[in-house]
Structure 1
């Protein structure tokens, strides 16, 4: 587990962790060696010479004081390292999650990451602060005491040493029994976390459909599963706790019997026997605590393994010598992309000259949004190439690529903060005049004027305090402020009312002006002025051309156009 902990921590914290472990080991050895001074003390007392015991008592007191100082320093080091690592690991995990491909965030990841980033990370990093010192003490102090016992009498020492493999075997047996229970408990935790998040997010839909009772049942079932899993974990660890207790008690009884036999035979003095029995009793305490500590460490190890698995998930590779494109045209060359065992894009080839607009239409599930994602390199393609300015996106530094692309999604997510903070995400170093100009171009200033607090108005988590159209205006203002030469639009007006749609459409027109644009939409009347239109179906381009040209062909695009409401077509024609 220690190797895994050091690997998870990375080189930045591994050295401090090793120093802390070395200090904890020295502390445990010092504790065990201090008990060796009890032998001359007891010998002097049993021989009827209390005065001779005084120097040894002073030495024993000094040894205990030295151990207390070492224990304080090691505990303090463990706490400092643990808290520092926790802060650093939050940053490391967050940075790594931000670099993972979007495809990694599949079903069930929300619950997994939620548990990992809260209880899981606290438990894993709590090893250094709370568990490592008692664990090292429970292992090293008894072994040091056994070494002292061997120095006084090899027979009693060997008898005590024989307990070590038995305790280790019981611990290994317990670990094997609890492994499945721990895995099951973690899965139930993730399921319950996902259900809680789902229950909260789905409140409007559930209440509108009168299905809150059913959803409560699903959440209750998940919580009951956690209770059952916890009970199974407890029952799995119980034999190990009982086994270690019985082993330690049996070993102490055997040592007592052996010591009495040797003392009666005159082979060992009474002081030595009494000291060895005191040492044996001192061994029992940390060994008995080993079961409880071992259980906590196994749980922490499971969290470490999951954290290690995420941190070892490879992000999208970076080019060793990144190339900076000189142009902003787009090109897909025979692109194939598979996800979830399905081919989403199949041999797609298309080009968008710099400064032109490409509209992508087609039925749901055709791969339109995925096309935008591979252009922005949210995924790496399985075959073919995606090029920006003639350069493969895999050869462009991720920061450079994203600096050239502004993406406006259908579902806008805003961070819990002010409107201005969310707009500034497009370009944090923009001055106030640039921010205000971007807001005016997106017609966000109309929203700001009617909100209490204006620019300082809080948007709530996910932008919950704003309407869909207002959130979309913030998103467009953010993209305008970024001033990227390439714009990707994904169904940005599909769920808006006419007033907001008109405002958003005006902002989109300003955003697209003079830029290379790829837009995905079901609103065909918004794409007729695109320079070119491609019709995507089942991951393939089945038609390509201008609006009028595609209508004359009478193919799939014409069919899509014909199913529009006549009033919409008439309004569009006018």
Structure 2
């Protein structure tokens, strides 16, 4: 437990932890040794000269006072170190998360890290502030007292010493027997939390579909599973708690019987026997508290193990130093990439000259978004090379690499704050005129003008107070303000209404002008003006060329194009013909 805690804290934070642990151990030893002064006190009080007890009482009082001071200092140190290390662990966790590949953050992973960074870190660090001192006292003070009893009478000391291996064995066996139940309980707790959040977030959809009762049953099932897991966890710990109580009471009874036998035989004095019984009784309380402390420590250890697993996740290797790039062309050379045991790309090669637009089309699951993610180094390839400006992305520093990209995703996340705050994320030092110009180019100014608070309008968590199209305009304005030479677009209009779609298209045209662009799209009208189109299927490029060439080819792209026209069949259409042969290429709806 201590080794795991020190590993999680890291080398820079382990030293104050070791000092605090040493102070707590010293406090527990002083407490145990102070009880040794009871023997001369009782010997004097029960002897012929009770007035000789005063010096020993003074020494005993001084020892108790020293223990009180040490206990105060050790508890204070525990709270201070716990607070400082809590801040340090948050910083360490944050720095580590910032170095992990962006592809590591899946939906379930984000929820797991959110719970871990909140409740998990607090529970793990509570060991230092609240559990470590009682645990050290419960383990070290009885051992010290046993040593004192051995010094007073070796036979009674050996009898008391038998409790040590018995208590240790019970503690270890209880931990092993409850480990699986503790993991199960933690899993059920997380699942129930996810169900609660899901139930709250899905209220509009559930009420519209009249499915609230069914969803409530799912949540109720999750809560019942939490109750069952909690019951099993409690029952699994019960034998250990009972066994510990019986063992402690049995050893205390053995010491009492043996002491009485020796006292009757004259082998031990009344003062020594009374002292030993007081010490044995004093051992019982901290030993019995180990059952409760053990449960809390096992729960904290589970959180520490999960925190340690995240901290031990290998981050992306850092670039060795600055490199000189040649332009902003893009290249995927013989790329092989696997994820979750599935091969996404196998020996894929593709290039985009500087200043050109590449459109990536294909069915869902073909690897289109992954193509962009490899370029932005959300993941590292298993084989082959991804280059930007002729340089392997692994040789470019993370900040330098991301500075070259303006990325607009389908799902836009906005931070809690104002519209202006979220636009300025693209370039925090931008002037007001630059922010307004980017907003106008993205047609975000239309949104700002109709909001009562204008630029000071708060967007809510994740941008919940804005519509999807409005969030997309904020994202495009942010990308325009950044002004990066390479633009990555991933399904930016797939879920927009016609008005917002037109506005977003206008913003995209301004964003991509004169830049190297890679766009992923399902709505094929967005790719008609691309310099080149590639059709991706099962991680392979099956067709490539410009829009007209692929339509003339009559292959997969043409099939997709015809399917995209089906919903608009009733609209007036314009026949597109090959200017050389006069052959009809496609029917395009007038827009």
Instruction: Sort the TM-score into its range (normalised by shorter chain).
Output: over 0.9
Displacement of 1:93:
2.2
- In 1, the alpha carbon distance for the partners of 2:122 and 2:268 equals 51
1:169-568 equivalences in 2 (<5 Å): 169-563=169-563, 564=565, 565-566=568-569, 567=571
Q: Secondary structure at the match of 1:198?
A: helix
* Greater mean alpha carbon deviation, residues 190-199 or residues 112-121: 112-121
- In 2, the alpha carbon distance for the partners of 1:573 and 1:288 equals 82
Q: Secondary structure at the match of 1:406?
A: strand
Which residue of structure 1 aligns with residue 579 of structure 2? none
Contact 2:188 2:229 survives alignment (8 Å): yes
- In 2, the alpha carbon distance for the partners of 1:362 and 1:320 equals 37
- In 2, the alpha carbon distance for the partners of 1:534 and 1:560 equals 12
Which residue of structure 1 aligns with residue 578 of structure 2? none
- In 2, the alpha carbon distance for the partners of 1:94 and 1:216 equals 36
Q: Secondary structure at the match of 2:365?
A: coil
- In 2, the alpha carbon distance for the partners of 1:197 and 1:389 equals 44
Q: What are the superposed Cα offsets for residues 122-171 of structure 1, whole Å, 9 maximum, x if unpaired?
A: 11110000000000000100111111111111111111111100010111
Q: Secondary structure at the match of 1:399?
A: helix
Q: Secondary structure at the match of 1:108?
A: helix
Contact 1:93 1:311 survives alignment (8 Å): yes
- In 2, the alpha carbon distance for the partners of 1:429 and 1:572 equals 44
Contact 2:369 2:490 survives alignment (8 Å): yes
Q: What are the superposed Cα offsets for residues 469-504 of structure 1, whole Å, 9 maximum, x if unpaired?
A: 100000001111111111100111121122211111
Q: Secondary structure at the match of 1:426?
A: coil
- In 1, the alpha carbon distance for the partners of 2:208 and 2:573 equals 33
Contact 2:103 2:373 survives alignment (8 Å): no
Contact 1:124 1:304 survives alignment (8 Å): yes
Contact 1:324 1:400 survives alignment (8 Å): no
Displacement of 1:573:
6.6
Q: What are the superposed Cα offsets for residues 41-80 of structure 1, whole Å, 9 maximum, x if unpaired?
A: 1011000423211111111111111111110111011111
Displacement of 1:213:
1.4
Contact 1:525 1:569 survives alignment (8 Å): no
* Greater mean alpha carbon deviation, residues 215-224 or residues 130-139: 215-224
1:46-85 equivalences in 2 (<5 Å): 46-85=46-85
- In 2, the alpha carbon distance for the partners of 1:152 and 1:480 equals 83
Which residue of structure 2 aligns with residue 100 of structure 1? 100
Q: What are the superposed Cα offsets for residues 157-216 of structure 1, whole Å, 9 maximum, x if unpaired?
A: 111111100010111111111111101001101211221222233223222222221111
Q: Secondary structure at the match of 2:514?
A: coil
* Greater mean alpha carbon deviation, residues 312-321 or residues 466-475: 312-321
Change (3 A) 1:223 1:324: farther
1:120-131 equivalences in 2 (<5 Å): 120-131=120-131
Displacement of 1:232:
0.7
- In 1, the alpha carbon distance for the partners of 2:337 and 2:204 equals 35
Displacement of 1:456:
1.3
Contact 1:375 1:386 survives alignment (8 Å): yes
Displacement of 1:569:
5.7
Q: What are the superposed Cα offsets for residues 67-107 of structure 1, whole Å, 9 maximum, x if unpaired?
A: 11110111011111112222222232233233323443346
* Greater mean alpha carbon deviation, residues 130-139 or residues 502-511: 502-511
- In 1, the alpha carbon distance for the partners of 2:254 and 2:300 equals 35
Change (3 A) 1:569 1:485: farther
Contact 1:418 1:458 survives alignment (8 Å): yes
Displacement of 1:110:
4.2
Contact 1:327 1:354 survives alignment (8 Å): yes
TM-score relative to the length of structure 1: 0.97
TM-score relative to the length of structure 2: 0.94
- In 2, the alpha carbon distance for the partners of 1:22 and 1:352 equals 62
- In 1, the alpha carbon distance for the partners of 2:87 and 2:430 equals 30
Contact 1:115 1:189 survives alignment (8 Å): no
Contact 1:111 1:190 survives alignment (8 Å): no
Displacement of 1:429:
2.3
* Greater mean alpha carbon deviation, residues 344-353 or residues 200-209: 200-209
Q: Secondary structure at the match of 1:484?
A: coil
* Greater mean alpha carbon deviation, residues 205-214 or residues 165-174: 205-214
Q: Secondary structure at the match of 2:138?
A: helix
- In 2, the alpha carbon distance for the partners of 1:183 and 1:383 equals 37
Change (3 A) 1:150 1:543: same
Which residue of structure 1 aligns with residue 43 of structure 2? 43
- In 1, the alpha carbon distance for the partners of 2:432 and 2:167 equals 68
Q: How many residues align?
A: 574
Q: Secondary structure at the match of 2:459?
A: coil
* Greater mean alpha carbon deviation, residues 90-99 or residues 165-174: 90-99
Contact 1:108 1:194 survives alignment (8 Å): no
Contact 1:444 1:470 survives alignment (8 Å): yes
Contact 1:525 1:572 survives alignment (8 Å): no
